[in-house]
Amino acid sequence: VSTCCSGRPRCRPCNTMPIVRSLPTVCNTHNRMTTTSYFFCHMLQTLQRNAQKAQQSPALKAEADLLQSQRMLPQAMDLVRAAFGLKGPVVKQREELVELMRQKSSLSIALSTSEAARALQQLLQHAPEMITQEQQGDVWVIRLRRTADVNAIRMRLCSIACQAARSSTASSPTR
């Protein structure tokens, strides 16, 4: 057990942290751990815990991203329909549609470009009767079918989103 400058043992959290173990002392001028060094110790512990979580396998991160995009399916459907509008063209370039989804989401859920692209990909997978992707030359375009049964599609997307929400809370490490 390492000790501080007074010969007293360090606190238990400090003994378990490699960063703090490498420090020569906890406190050079006091016989006890000060409030500042106590909070510093726990801040380092939190940072180390977060670093360990970040080093988890990429498969877990990919699964979390997939579940997040599945939970957003109903909102993604609304964003795509808003981007195409009630009337007008039914074909848009993929990048243009992703950017429109990102812009229209800024008021409610504020998607990043990558989140909007993942949500669009999930929508393409789970609602092929409403939205399809085609390649025209070098450009990928998205085609909207306005005759699709929107209510049935919404119910199916909501059930997928609910299943994703249940599975993400069940696999959460905090529960």
Walk across the sheet containing 139-144 and list its strands.
91-93, 139-144, 131-136
pLDDT, tens digit, for every residue of 37-74?
555 666 667 767 766 666 666 777 777 778 888 888 88
Class of domain 58-170: mainly alpha
- Record the pTM: 0.62
Distance (Å, whole) CA 158 – CA 46: 36
Positions of CATH 1.10.10.1420 in the chain: 58-170
Distance (Å, whole) CA 16 – CA 58: 26
Query: What is residue 67's predicted lDDT score, i.e. its pLDDT?
Result: 81
pLDDT, tens digit, for every residue of 103-158?
888 766 778 888 899 999 999 999 999 999 999 999 999 999 999 999 999 999 98
HEC letters along the chain: CCECCCCCECCHHHHHCHHHHCCCCCCCCCCCCCHHHHHHHHHHHHHHHHHHHHCCCHHHHHHHHHHHHHHCHHHHHHHHHHHHCCCCCCEEEHHHHHHHHHHHHCCCCCCCHHHHHHHHHHHHHHCCCCEEEEEECCEEEEEECCCCCHHHHHHHHHHHHHHHHHHHHHCCCCC
